Amino acid sequence: MRLSMRRSAFLVGAAACALTAGLAAGQAYPTKPIRLIAPYPPGGSSDILARILGEKLTGPLGQRIIVDNRPGAGGSLGTGIASTATADGYTWVVGSVAPIVLNPLFYKTTYQSLRDFEPISVIAAAPQLIVVNPALAVKSMADLIALGKSKPGSINYGNSGTGTLPHLGGEMFATITGVRITHVPYKGSPPALLDLMAGQVQVVFADMPVALPYVKSGKLRAIAVAGAKPFPLTPGVPTAIDAGLQGLVLDNWWGLLTMKGVPQKIVGKINAEIVKALKQPDVIERYTALGIESVTSTPQQFTNIIKSDLARYLKVIKDAGIKVEVN
């Protein structure tokens, strides 16, 4: 009887020690530097956001956050590298609509976003900006539609390449309005905007951070934002929905993800620190300078955004009959 009681006491004590050790390990995170993969070159939006975030979270987490640029394949290379990391919370990746939502729909990527990643939080957002050359007699979406209907096939729209958010913007515009426009792909938004200023194309569905400086300088005219609501950094510019184009919403977002299987306690801790960091006035000021809005979410909200975008853009691809590599 005594032996049995001693054995029971030992087992209970061992279990309690194991539980305490587990809790201590969770509370201690992180105990070493964290790798933050930015799947685009230095100087781009993803890289800048990664560095702002790394700088702001280093103090609260007590460990260095090392930004690792892994550009290539429209963000798929670095995102794919991140997907193979150990699920211990020491590898993060900055994701955006292109590598997380669109690339897996268009191409045979080595990863599947919801299968391989644990969303932590949205960290920034900006709708696409619809811009024209100021010399063009188009001052609104209504003018653009009227031009397209009066001269079918006369509108060429530049974008940052097949399978990108700006590409789908043009396809959505054509589907909603019935206006036939010609897709002219470029290797990124900057060359598309340069050709727009040169009059080689008539309209660009552009990435906000790239196009906004040209609008502010008067080199381009913004006729709409492709957001669900007006964008605070473009006061006076109506949404495409305001112009009657229901459903023309192209919200780009950036978010932080880690590997599937990372304990929820760690995910929650990172999320809490992100929310605190992105409310700081100097961060909001730096975001504003980029043409991006500081936005956060819960992990579940971020997961829901990815699910919704995957379903919505898959429908756009099918409706427009766009050819993809994925079976």
Confidence of residue 222 (pLDDT cuts 50, 70, 90): very high
185-189, 200-204, 227-231, 264-268: lowest mean pLDDT where? 185-189
DSSP letter for 237, please. Answer: P
Confidence of residue 254 (pLDDT cuts 50, 70, 90): very high
Which pTM was predicted? 0.88
Q: Is the per-residue pLDDT at 322 higher than 60?
A: yes
Average pLDDT over residues 123-141: 95
Q: For residues 103 and 119, give the distance between their C-alpha atoms in angstroms, rounded to a whole number.
A: 17
Burial of 232 (0-12, 13-18, 19+ CB in 10 A): exposed
CA 129, 216, 256, 186 torsion: positive or negative? positive
User: How far, rounded to the nearest angstrom, does the alpha carbon of residue 196 sit from its chain's CA centroid?
Assistant: 25
Confidence of residue 27 (pLDDT cuts 50, 70, 90): low
12-16, 223-227, 261-265: lowest mean pLDDT where? 12-16
pLDDT digits (tens, 9 = 90+) for 51-102: 999 999 999 999 999 999 999 999 999 999 999 999 999 999 999 999 999 9
| CA quadruple 233, 235, 238, 239: dihedral, nearest 10 | 20
pLDDT for residue 9: 42
Average pLDDT over residues 128-148: 95
pLDDT for residue 153: 85
Mean residue pLDDT of the chain comes to 90
Determine how β-strand 65-69 pairs with β-strand 91-96. unpaired
pLDDT digits (tens, 9 = 90+) for 282-321: 999 999 999 999 999 999 999 999 999 999 999 999 988 8
Retrieve residue 214's tokens.
Answer: 């040209």
Q: Is the per-residue pLDDT at 3 higher than 60?
A: no
C-alpha distances out from residue 78 to 86, 166, 190, 233, 306, Å: 15, 22, 22, 30, 18
Average pLDDT over residues 97-115: 96
pLDDT for residue 204: 95
12-26, 76-90, 179-193: lowest mean pLDDT where? 12-26
Of all residues in the chain, the percent with pLDDT exceeding 70 is 91
Q: For residues 134 and 196, give the distance between their C-alpha atoms in angstroms, rounded to a whole number.
A: 10
C-alpha distances out from residue 178 to 29, 75, 87, Å: 54, 32, 47
